[in-house]
Every structure is written in C-alpha cells, then in structure tokens.
Amino acid sequence: MSETFNRNLSVLKRHPAAFQLISGYASRFAPEKYLIENAKNGQPTLILHEEGARPLAFHSRYDPQAEAVKQVAAAYDGHSHVLLLGFGLGYMAEEILQQLKVRVGGLQLFVVEPDPAVFVAAMQARDLSRLLADQRVALCVGMSPDEIGDFWNANLDWTVLERLAIIDHPPAKARFNAYFERVVEKIRYLCNRSKGNLVTLMHSGFEFHSNYFANLAAGFVLPGVERLFGRFKNVPAIVVAAGPSLDRNMHHLKEVKGKFPIVAVDTALRQLVANGIRPDIVCAADPSYENSLDFVGVENETDVVLAVEPMTHPDIFESFKGPKMLMTFGGGLHPVFKDLREPVGTLICWGSIATTVFDLVRNLGADPIVFVGLDLSFEDGRLHARGSYSDDMLFERIHSFTSIEHESADYIHTRGRYKLGRSDGKVLFTDENMKLYRDWFEDQFRQTSVKIINATEGGVVDKYVEVMPLAAVIARYSNCSAPVREIIDEALCRPVNADCDALRDRLMHYRKLIRRHESEARRAVSLCRKLLNAYSSVEPARLSGRASAEYYDIMKLHDDICLEKDLFAWFSIHQTKFITRHTMELNNLKASPRATVGDWIKEVSGFLSALESFHEYQIPLLEEAINSLDRADKSQSSLKGDLSR
C-alpha cells in the first residue's frame, strides 16, 4: 500500500469502525477494477471497471474539485448538518467542510459509502488526513442502512440539529440507488422519532418523573418481566391492540386461552373482559390520568398479570388488585436502582403501548407473533374497539345535539388527514401518530427474525407480515402450545431480590447533594449579579484577579452540575425546554469569539434560575419516596413479626 494510504490509515484510527473495516479490506482491493487516473488538471479521478458493465466515471476527467464545488452549491444552503451519500475520492466531503460555516459542536457531516473499495481507492489516491482528522466528520463505510441508523442515533447530538441537507454523489447514487433510498428512509424515520421523543418529553416529562417517584417504593419490590424472557420459545403468542377491528375477531381468543400467551395493551383490557376473555398479561406505561381510566371496572381481575412501567399513573399501581410485574424502558429512575435489585427486563417503547407489548412478546421468545386489533387507522368511523376509554372521553362531549358517532367522525375528519392504500386496494384514513407507529412496526418487523402474522382483519399494516384471519392462524398452530399459566405463576412466585435499604440510602444521598447545590447556586447567583454590573462587556479572557476567579468558579459550578449524571438527567426532564435551548445557546457562545462576560453570565444565570425551580420540585418527590420506603419497611417488619408469632 502507498505512503499516502498509510498516512490516511493512521488518521483513520479516530473512526474505529471504518479503520477496522478498511485495514482488513485493503489487501483485497482490486486496483484494476477501481482505476485511478489523473484528470486534465492533475487531480486524481476514479473510473470503475465492473465486469459486464460499461466504465463508470466517479469524477470529472477535467477538474474534479470544480465539479464538487458545483455539486455542493446545488444542494447546500447553510444547513447545520449534512448527510453525504457516496464518498468517491472525497472531493465533495472536503467542499462540504469548507461550506459548513455553522459550528455547533460534535458531528456535522455524516459520510455514507457502501463500497469499502471506493474508500480504499480514495485513501490510496489522495491525502485525506485533514478531512479524516476533522472532528465534524463521521464515517459510515460498508454499513447496512440499519447499522447507519443505529450509528446516527448514537452519535448525533439532536439538540443542535437545526437543518439537515441530504446530498448525493450522483455516480454513487446511480450505482447504489436502492441502498441510499433505504438509508434516507431510515434517517427520516429516526428524525421523526426523535422529534416525537423531544416533544413528548417537553409535554409529559414532568408527569413521567413525578410518577417514577410516586411508584418507586411499590415498584422496586415487584418481580421483573425478565423472568419470563425466553420462556415461550417457539410458542405462538397473541398481541392484542385496541384498534376497531378487535370487535371483529376477539371471540376467537377464547380458543387459545391457556395455550398461547395473550398479551394485551391496557386500552383493550375492558373490551376483552367484557367479552369473557382474560389476557394473561396486560401492559401499562402511560403516565396520564386518562389512561388510568382503562382500568376502571377491571381493577379486580386477579387472573390477569399487570406488567407495569414505573412511569405509569400511580392510580393504576394502587387500584389494580391483580398480580403485578415490573418492566422498564431503561429511563427514569431505572439507572438509579438497577444495581440494587434483580434485573427488571428492559423493553422498547415507541410512543404507543402496543410497541412495548410487541417487544415483550418478542423477548418471551414467541414464534409466530400474532397481532389482533392493530389497525393503526380509523375503521367504520371508530377510533378504537368499542368500550375503550376513548369512547368515555368522547362520551363526555356529547350533548343533545350530538352523538358519539358524530364526535368520532369529527375527530376523524380533523385528524385523519393521511390516506393510505392497502395492497388489496382498500383506502383507509389515519392520523400522524398512527402513521408513525405503522412505519415503526413495519421497520421492526423487517428486523425481527421470527414470523409476524397480522390477524387484525383490517387496518393498514401489511408490509413484512403475513396477513391472515385469526381463525386460520389458530387452526394452523393448534398443535403448538405451552402451559401458559404455570410458567407465569412460577415467575410470579419466586422471592424478589431487591435491597430496599440501599435504595433509601441512595435517595438520601441525592437529597443531600441537592441541598448542597442549592446553597452553592445561591452564592453563584449573587456573584453573577456582581460580575454583570462590573464586567458585562468584557471578554472573559481579559478578566483578571478576583473577578477572573469568581467568573471561573461560576462556570465550574455550572459544569459540575451538568456532569452530575443522575441529577442532571432529572433536571433535564423537568426543564426540557430550557435545557434544549441552553445547550444551543452554549454552543453559539463557544463558537462566537466575541462573547462577553455578560453573554456568558446571563446564560448561566438562566441556568441557575431553572435549577432553583427544579430543586423546589424535586425535594418533595425525594422526601415522599424515602417516606414510602420507610413505610413499606415498617409494614414488612411487622408482617415478619406477625408471621414469626
């Protein structure tokens, strides 16, 4: 390999995945296929000679750099981030870095090159060391679209993503069109998802966090759903969602009760019970009071196990009298207590509880996974199966001039703006959220190795699934069954390994830490006022003596608070809007060489003010959780005393 290649390779080490791939691939590189020639201006250009195909030029044979300037100019317009589809010899990537004027910190240019040999050719032909060393560049070489999605998700700082440009290198696009379309589809989907997550956090972060603390003592000692993972290998399992089509075929579920695990979303529980069907497990995770209404009238279903996420509304925890198991989405207080108890079982949640039920069933090891009631569209003028709480909510709006059908139709007309055609020609309407859920399910189905059957007998989900009626599914798999009750009972009965004393100590540690921050923040607020009055228009580097020490003390306190892993995460949830904006402001200040003490102090003062609000909110939650643990401990002690007597 050439000297240029080796120089590039040593810089490539900062991109571990690409380095590993390229260093292994270089020996297999076929230079006769990836021909490097000099363009008329002397710069290297690449011509691909594939067997049975005509030669394909990757760059201009006259002036590749000038060509890249035109290509980038046609697509780039001050975006904060760029996804470049096709690397070629790197001319476009270099030009994009020149044009990326907005410095937001972190990765800004994601380069996708499906063919490792093209990347090797580039490393052979050109000195790319500056580009490869640039902190803004991320490389996705030889990755599948799903891997690129995971990489993007793990490495992109969403808080600073303002505008994304997707720019093609046309010859690469022509060569790998389907691949790049899939990459773009994946990235779009992730963007929508993250936007959704951020919006959810902004609207409901408060509720999540408060519920976690309210449910902490009760949830900490529950057996985790992980006990059931892998216990239903190769057994068909039914996922019951609450779409309108559930009315059509739920009666068949009686035939498989006790043979296949039946796992339902909370919204479907009432309808199932009303029709004489008890699911084996019902999942609940919604933090809202409205969703707790799903359990009104079915609180005493002791044959049904409630798999519950601690962010669920506390009413559900309290009112449901049946057995409970804990599940987690990995967030909230889970990182705080996960080392203090046996594993809970981490599941995915993607906006709808149906996504969690699907992930639970997938973790049970079930095969096939059979969906019913997964319409994700409006059907027969209805939003859900009859009798769900959405009917209750609509019912409240009814007066003498309207009806529940009228209210449903009004809802559908307002929200159902997406018209989706099914493969059988039927056209259905859905709303933005359900459309996103459909995209999510289909993306997951594609990545799931077990068979997925959609037995909804309606709705809009028809990609990567086998669509068939529920009766036919039952007939086909009638010989596959498992002792469902026995397996679940066994998982419920074993004692739970959870250290409540250690949890109490930990919560008390957080309380102490918050008290300390409170006092330090008070002192910092007074220093901020002083610095603002005296040095507002001075650049921080020009401060000296005591003023400099005080300024950097404030900045250090800010950074220390941000580095406090758990507490800062809670702070971010409580103050999502502020922290999102604050992160962007800090990046702007860092990028601005003329930022003054006033600019920085004003921003940090805002931070301290938000911190104060967070402390006012957080301390009572901690106090209540500690008290609940004390109460639970006392009742446990007296129970032990009773038993010993």
Partner 1 sequence: MEILLNDNRLDIEGISPEVTVLELLTTVEESLKGTQATVIEIILDEKSYSADDVSEISALKVMDYQKIELFTATAQEMVRAAFADGDAGLQHLEELAGEVASELRIGKVKEGMDSYLEFVDGIEWLVTMLKSADLAFASNMAESSLESDRQALVQRLGEQMNQVQIAQEAQDWVGLADILEYEFPEILQDSRGFIKSILAV
Shortest reach from residue 181's CB to partner 1, in Å: 13
Shortest reach from residue 595's CB to partner 1, in Å: 38
Q: Which residues have a Cβ under 8 Å from the Cβ of 305 and sit 6 or more positions away?
A: 280, 281, 282, 322, 323, 324, 325, 488, 492
Question: Is 173 one of the binding residues for partner 1 (CB under 8 A)?
Answer: yes
Shortest reach from residue 95's CB to partner 1, in Å: 13
Shortest reach from residue 194's CB to partner 1, in Å: 28
- Cβ–Cβ < 8 Å for 117, 25: yes
> Which of these segments, 167-175, 441-449, 451-459, 579-587, binds partner 1 (CB under 8 A)?
167-175
Other Cβ atoms within 10 Å of 182 Cβ, number: 16
> Which of these segments, 23-31, 65-73, 374-382, 543-551, binds partner 1 (CB under 8 A)?
65-73
- Cβ–Cβ < 8 Å for 232, 365: yes
Q: Which member of 70, 163, 321, 512 binds partner 1 (CB under 8 A)? A: 70
Residues in the chain: 645
CB closer to partner 1, 178 vs 493: 178
- Cβ–Cβ < 8 Å for 140, 151: yes
Contacts of partner 1 in 265-324 (CB under 8 A): none
Spatial distance between the Cα atoms of 232 and 367, rounded to a whole number of angstroms: 8
Helix (H) or strand (E) holding 366: none
Identify the CA nearest to 8 among candidates 140, 143, 121, 169. 121
Question: Is 513 one of the binding residues for partner 1 (CB under 8 A)?
Answer: no
Spatial distance between the Cα atoms of 413 and 474, rounded to a whole number of angstroms: 36
Size of the site for partner 1 (CB under 8 A): 21
Amino acid letter, residue 381? G
Shortest reach from residue 371's CB to partner 1, in Å: 40
Spatial distance between the Cα atoms of 56 and 176, rounded to a whole number of angstroms: 13
CB closer to partner 1, 173 vs 422: 173
Q: Which member of 67, 94, 266, 286 binds partner 1 (CB under 8 A)? A: 67
CB closer to partner 1, 52 vs 425: 52
Binding-residue pattern over the window 24 to 63 for partner 1, x denoting contact by CB under 8 A: ----------------x-------------xxxxxxxxxx
Phi, psi (deg, nearest 5) at residue 487: -65, -45
CB closer to partner 1, 43 vs 211: 43
Shortest reach from residue 64's CB to partner 1, in Å: 9
Shortest reach from residue 170's CB to partner 1, in Å: 3
Spatial distance between the Cα atoms of 342 and 21, rounded to a whole number of angstroms: 38
> Which of these segments, 64-72, 342-350, 474-482, 583-591, binds partner 1 (CB under 8 A)?
64-72
DSSP 33: T
- Cβ–Cβ < 8 Å for 234, 480: yes
Q: Which member of 75, 532, 562, 632 binds partner 1 (CB under 8 A)? A: 75
Phi, psi (deg, nearest 5) at residue 161: -75, 110
Shortest reach from residue 56's CB to partner 1, in Å: 7
3-state helix vs strand vs coil in the chain, percent to 5 = 55, 10, 30
Shortest reach from residue 34's CB to partner 1, in Å: 15
Shortest reach from residue 38's CB to partner 1, in Å: 14
Spatial distance between the Cα atoms of 307 and 325, rounded to a whole number of angstroms: 5
Shortest reach from residue 98's CB to partner 1, in Å: 18
> Which of these segments, 71-79, 442-450, 469-477, 585-593, binds partner 1 (CB under 8 A)?
71-79
CB closer to partner 1, 42 vs 55: 55
CB closer to partner 1, 28 vs 54: 54
Helix (H) or strand (E) holding 383: none
> Which of these segments, 19-27, 70-78, 97-105, 516-524, binds partner 1 (CB under 8 A)?
70-78
Amino acid letter, residue 4? T
CB closer to partner 1, 71 vs 628: 71
CB closer to partner 1, 49 vs 203: 49
Shortest reach from residue 72's CB to partner 1, in Å: 9
Shortest reach from residue 188's CB to partner 1, in Å: 19
CB closer to partner 1, 39 vs 597: 39
Question: Is 589 one of the binding residues for partner 1 (CB under 8 A)?
Answer: no
Q: DSSP for 82-124?
A: EEEE--TTSHHHHHHHHH-----SS--EEEEES-HHHHHHHHH
CB closer to partner 1, 10 vs 38: 38
Question: Is 76 one of the binding residues for partner 1 (CB under 8 A)?
Answer: no
CB closer to partner 1, 62 vs 395: 62
Spatial distance between the Cα atoms of 232 and 484, rounded to a whole number of angstroms: 8
CB closer to partner 1, 49 vs 397: 49
CB closer to partner 1, 47 vs 569: 47
Identify the CA nearest to 618 among candidates 579, 586, 571, 569. 571
Q: Which member of 94, 113, 115, 168 binds partner 1 (CB under 8 A)? A: 168
> Which of these segments, 163-171, 188-196, 283-291, 479-487, binds partner 1 (CB under 8 A)?
163-171
CB closer to partner 1, 67 vs 280: 67
Q: Which member of 74, 154, 563, 643 binds partner 1 (CB under 8 A)? A: 74
DSSP 76: -
Other Cβ atoms within 10 Å of 559 Cβ, number: 9
Question: Burial, 276: exposed, middle or buried (Cβ in 10 Å; 0-12, 13-18, 19+)?
Answer: exposed
Strands 56-57 and 44-48: what pairing?
Answer: antiparallel
Question: Is 174 one of the binding residues for partner 1 (CB under 8 A)?
Answer: yes
Question: Burial, 569: exposed, middle or buried (Cβ in 10 Å; 0-12, 13-18, 19+)?
Answer: middle
Largest CA distance in the chain: 97
Instruction: Please give the angle made by the CA atoms of 628, 629 and 634, to the nearest 5 degrees.
Output: 95
Shortest reach from residue 118's CB to partner 1, in Å: 14
> Which of these segments, 129-137, 166-174, 254-262, 542-550, binds partner 1 (CB under 8 A)?
166-174
**Residue 51, phi-psi category: left (phi > 0), alpha (psi -120 to 50), beta (remainder):** beta
Per CB under 8 A, residues contacting partner 1 are: 40, 54-63, 67, 70-71, 74-75, 168, 170-171, 173-174
